[in-house]
C-alpha cells in the first residue's frame, strides 16, 4: 500500500472516534499546578518566570483596557507552544497542522476584538476602513479592499500557523527518509543528511515557538486597534 506524505497529518482514530480531542487536552495535563509549599520546585519557578516575562511583553502594546485579556492570551500561547512541541516527537500527531482547529481558535478571538471595537468605539473602528486623506474617487474601492482585509485576518492567522508547521514536518520526513535510504549505499552522504536533519529539527523547535508567539502577537495587535 502506498503511503502519502500527508498521511501523517490525518487525525488518528480509535474505534472510529477521532483522537484529536485527546491530543488537545494533553497539554493541560503536563503542566504542574502551583503548590502551597513555601518553596517551589525549579521547574515551577522556571514556569512562573516564563509566564510572567511573556505576560509583560504581551501587555506592552496594550492599553489598560486590554489587560483583562492577559490570562486568555497567555494560556493560548502556552497551549500552542506545547502542542507544536509535542508534534515534533516521533509517532505523534500535531493538532495545529489542522486548518480547522487553527481557524476555530482564530475566528472567535478575532470576532471578539471586532465586536469590542464596534461596541466601545464604533466611529474609530469604522474609521479603519477609510484612511484619512483618501481621494474621492478611490473611497468606494478602498472601503471594499479594507473590508476584505479585515475579514481575511482570521484566515491569515490559521493558514500561517498551518502552513509553517506542515512545511516543517514534511521537510523532516523527506530528509529522514533520504538518510534512511542512503544509509546502506552511501554512508557518508547519509551521515551528512542526518546532520542536516538534526539542524532542521532544532530549527523546527524554534519555528514551533515563534509561530505560537506570532499567532498571539497578531491577536494582541488586533485587540489594540479596537480597545
- Distance, CA of 110 to CA of 153 (rounded, Å): 8
The pLDDT of residue 199 is: 92
Lowest-pLDDT choice from 8-12, 164-168, 175-179, 187-191: 8-12
* 154 contacts: CB under 8 Å, gap ≥ 6: 103, 106, 107, 110, 111
Mean pLDDT for the stretch of residues 160-174: 89
Domain ranges of the chain: 15-226
pLDDT band at residue 154, thresholds of 50, 70 and 90? very high
**Tens digit of each residue's pLDDT (9 = 90 or more) over 101-118:** 899 999 999 999 889 888
Residue 88 has pLDDT above 90, yes or no: no
Q: What share of the chain is helix, strand, coil (3-state, %, to 5)?
A: 80, 0, 20
C-alpha cell at 155: 484566515
- Of 80, 65, 73, 88, which Cα lies nearest the Cα of 28? 80
Provide the whole-model pTM. Answer: 0.83
Backbone CA torsion sign across 102, 107, 110, 113 = negative
- Helix or strand run (H / E) with residue 14: strand 13-14
The pLDDT of residue 4 is: 66
Lowest-pLDDT choice from 13-17, 40-44, 84-88, 171-175: 13-17
Neighbours of 123 (CB within 10 A): 6
Mean pLDDT for the stretch of residues 158-162: 91
The pLDDT of residue 8 is: 66
The pLDDT of residue 202 is: 92
**Tens digit of each residue's pLDDT (9 = 90 or more) over 203-220:** 999 999 999 989 998 998
Residue 2 has pLDDT above 60, yes or no: no
Residue 193 has pLDDT above 70, yes or no: yes
pLDDT band at residue 1, thresholds of 50, 70 and 90? very low
Amino acid at each position: 500500500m502506498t503511503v502519502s506524505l500527508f498521511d501523517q497529518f490525518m487525525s488518528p482514530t480509535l474505534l472510529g472516534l477521532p483522537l484529536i480531542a485527546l491530543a488537545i487536552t494533553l497539554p493541560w495535563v503536563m503542566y504542574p499546578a502551583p503548590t502551597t509549599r513555601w518553596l517551589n520546585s525549579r521547574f515551577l519557578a522556571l514556569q512562573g518566570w516564563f509566564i510572567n516575562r511573556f505576560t509583560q511583553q504581551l501587555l506592552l502594546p496594550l492599553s489598560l483596557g486590554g489587560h483583562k485579556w492577559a490570562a486568555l492570551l497567555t494560556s493560548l500561547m502556552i497551549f500552542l507552544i506545547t502542542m507544536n512541541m509535542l508534534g515534533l516527537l516521533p509517532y505523534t500527531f500535531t493538532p495545529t497542522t489542522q486548518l480547522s482547529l487553527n481557524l476555530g481558535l482564530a475566528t472567535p478571538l478575532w470576532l471578539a476584538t471586532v465586536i469590542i471595537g464596534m461596541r466601545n468605539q464604533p466611529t474609530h473602528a469604522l474609521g479603519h476602513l477609510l484612511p484619512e486623506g483618501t481621494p474621492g474617487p478611490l473611497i468606494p474601492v478602498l472601503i471594499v479592499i479594507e473590508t476584505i482585509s479585515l475579514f481575511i485576518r482570521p484566515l491569515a492567522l490559521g493558514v500561517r500557523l498551518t502552513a509553517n508547521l506542515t512545511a516543517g514536518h514534511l521537510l523532516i520526513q523527506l530528509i529522514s527518509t533520504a538518510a534512511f535510504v542512503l544509509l546502506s549505499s552511501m554512508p557518508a552522504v547519509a551521515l551528512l543528511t542526518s546532520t542536516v536533519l538534526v539542524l532542521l529539527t532544532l530549527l523546527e523547535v524554534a519555528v514551533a515557538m515563534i509561530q505560537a508567539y506570532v499567532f498571539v502577537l497578531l491577536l494582541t495587535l488586533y485587540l489594540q486597534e479596537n480597545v
